[in-house]
Structure 1
Amino acid sequence: MANRDEPDACKAEAHCTYRSYLLRCWAEPQGANVMWRFSLEGVSDQARHGFADLPSLLKFLEGECDDPSDADL
């Protein structure tokens, strides 16, 4: 049974890959500066991933898009 939150295109295609995350962003003071931190929580499995900076978050997402073989279908 398809998830009701999946795009219509995914409901019709068995090979469609789809991931959904809750993104959290917050600023932490670092002396006179502010450092942004990020976390992603997988909607389907509640797995949490923390990131110290935006490049780390983007690298993770790029990796998720490069290897669709382990996507939740």
Structure 2
Amino acid sequence: MTDDVTLDIESIAAGGDGVARHNGLVVFVPRTAPGDRVRVRVQAKGRFARGTVLEVEQGGVGRVTPACPHYEQDRCGGC
């Protein structure tokens, strides 16, 4: 199952991904913060799902602009 949906990020998982829910599944969404409303592509992985951010529709209070321009481009090498 792959869907493009709008989700509200509820919390942060132990690994740092944002956590939302869709159709009874927990969805882990990297690079999100609690309170974010994001449009994501959801890919089911059994009992949970992974989301890829397509657009941040509204940033939550915990969202900050990354200091490094490479972060958003998936080229972060950890300096």
TM-score, length of structure 1 as denominator length: 0.24
Comparing both structures, which one devotes a greater share of its residues to helix?
Answer: 1
Give the structure with the higher percent strand: 2
Larger Rg: 1
